[in-house]
Amino acid sequence: MSDTFDVIVIGGGPGGYVCAIRAAQLGLKTACVENRGTLGGTCLNVGCIPSKAMLQSSHLFEEANHSFATHGIKVSKVELDLATMLARKDDVVKQNTTGIEFLFKKNKVTYIKGTGKIAKAVTGAHQVAVKGLDGTDSTYTAKYVVIATGSEVTPLPGITIDEKQIVSSTGALTLAKVPKSMVVIGGGVIGLEMGSVWRRLGAIVTVVEFLDFIMPPMDGEVRKQMQRILEKQGMKFMLGQKVTKAVPGKDGVTLTVEPAKGGAATEMKADVVLVAVGRRPFTNGLGLVEAGVKMTNRGFVEADTHYQTNIEGIFAIGDVIGGMMLAHKAEDEGVAVAELCAGQTAHINYDAIASVVYTWPEVAGVGKTEEQLKEAGVAYKVGKFPFTANSRARSNGDMDGFVKILADATTDRVLGCHIIGPSGGDLIMEVALGMEFGASAEDIARTCHAHPQLGEAVKEAALNVDKRAIHI
């Protein structure tokens, strides 16, 4: 089979499939090459979506076990049916991935099932070779090629992931029984989300983190309070420690742990070990070097502010170019590239991209942290409001956390917002939208917020930037 397209996207994850749909919407003849067998990439298949299904199920399990009684709901015996929980998660994934296939059909995107590589870089007619999932070889031509191949788990020296006893985020989504003990290596997003799932379902979870704090990119105050909340929930932390060895055996995994700054090693045991120390760009077998595409020294594809590589007409988006490794960042870059290919202009305001950790309570941040503002020497004001003082949070029985808004000391413009709280990931979006429009704290404070809502905590934090919150 051979065909010519305006745009060929390599990779059908959130960056790639969104790019393909947008390009097709704009009238470009578009194909998307994907070798997983299903669309949606890591996020839909083995990342964001299945983990959220498990977070929701395990949250309900924990609520039934520990919170129902306080609401006056008596349940005689709460039992875990893990097989059903896992099957539900798989079903959620299937509904989402087949949904994208439907969207491809609706938008007339050609879905090419196979592994794509750049066979030849020719301005105006790049060639993409595809080894089909059925074993056939094909070559396609496109004016524009978009690399959207995402990222893969960063391995840890001395540790072999077998996806049974020593698992990555993928294996952590399919454990057939609840381990008695789990060691999570890495106190980042995956470690805390998947660690929360298995702790709620009954495992004793210990997080071993290299740094002296968890969730490195988040605001310092948020990091500290969230650690306290997770400890209160029963999660254990070993900070400033690194795992140098993990040996699986019949009675669990034996781990060797050393202080990050040097010192005597100790041993510990766990039924299951989750390795979650970050992700690295995936570029294997793409023919990028042969095609002359420049890479950074950390293995990312080098792209300019318009996502174009050093080769005209070859673009790259999402995790493979680095920056925030977030599905929604990749999606927006996908839209931007499609619009650029259609001759439009595109711009993404990276300062208004929120990141969310789906623990309970959720952790969400957008814009600058206090640490970043201090380092940049920016004079700023802080407005904070705790959920203990929010009537809806009290009604719901979910009062852990706060909203913190950082605003420029002179102009009052919102520079950042950091939330620990129930549905923090939803609450942050009004601030992200505000920041996109250049809002001041006063703008948010003067926006009438419906009562009784968790969002009133955002308004009160904005009021408190000038120390005039009403409810504290």
Q: Which residues bind ligand NAI (CB under 6 A)?
A: 156, 185-191, 193, 208-211, 216, 242-243, 276-279, 325-326, 355-358
CB nearer ligand NAI, residue 11 or residue 116: 11
- As measured in angstroms, the least distance from the Cβ of 39 to ligand NAI is 19
**Please, are residues 286 and 130 in contact by the beta-carbon 8 Å criterion?**
no
What are 340's strand-pairing partners?
A: none
- As measured in angstroms, the least distance from the Cβ of 43 to ligand NAI is 9
451 catalytic per annotation: yes
**Please, are residues 320 and 309 in contact by the beta-carbon 8 Å criterion?**
no
Instruction: Output the CA torsion sign for 433, 436, 437, 442.
Output: positive
Structure tokens at 292: 């002359």
Our CA dihedral for 368, 372, 378, 383, rounded to 10 degrees, sits at 50
- As measured in angstroms, the least distance from the Cβ of 437 to ligand NAI is 24
For residue 296, the tally of other CB atoms under 10 A from its CB is 12
CB nearer ligand NAI, residue 326 or residue 393: 326
- Coil, strand or helix at 244: strand
**169 vs 181: CA distance, rounded Å:** 16
- As measured in angstroms, the least distance from the Cβ of 158 to ligand NAI is 9
> What residue has token string 């996908």?
334
Q: What residue is closest to ligand NAI based on CB?
A: 188
CB nearer ligand NAI, residue 130 or residue 356: 356
Strands 137-147 and 314-316: parallel
- As measured in angstroms, the least distance from the Cβ of 11 to ligand NAI is 16
CB nearer ligand NAI, residue 230 or residue 356: 356
CB nearer ligand NAI, residue 358 or residue 402: 358
CA 255: distance to chain centroid?
A: 27
One of 66, 71, 306, 451 is an active-site residue; which one?
451
Q: Which residues, 6 or more positions from 14, have their beta carbon under 8 angstroms from its beta carbon?
A: 40, 41, 43, 44, 318, 327, 328, 330, 331, 334
DSSP secondary structure of 98-125: HHHHHHHHHHT-EEEEEEEEEEE--TTS
CB nearer ligand NAI, residue 197 or residue 407: 197
CA 351: distance to chain centroid?
A: 16
- As measured in angstroms, the least distance from the Cβ of 298 to ligand NAI is 13
CB nearer ligand NAI, residue 383 or residue 424: 424
Quick one: 304 exposed, middle or buried, by C-beta within 10 A (0-12, 13-18, 19+)?
exposed
| Helix 189-200 with 48-62: angle, nearest 10 deg | 40
Phi, psi (degrees; rounded to nearest 5) at 462: -65, -40
Structure tokens at 466: 């000038």
- As measured in angstroms, the least distance from the Cβ of 174 to ligand NAI is 16
Return the active site residues: 451
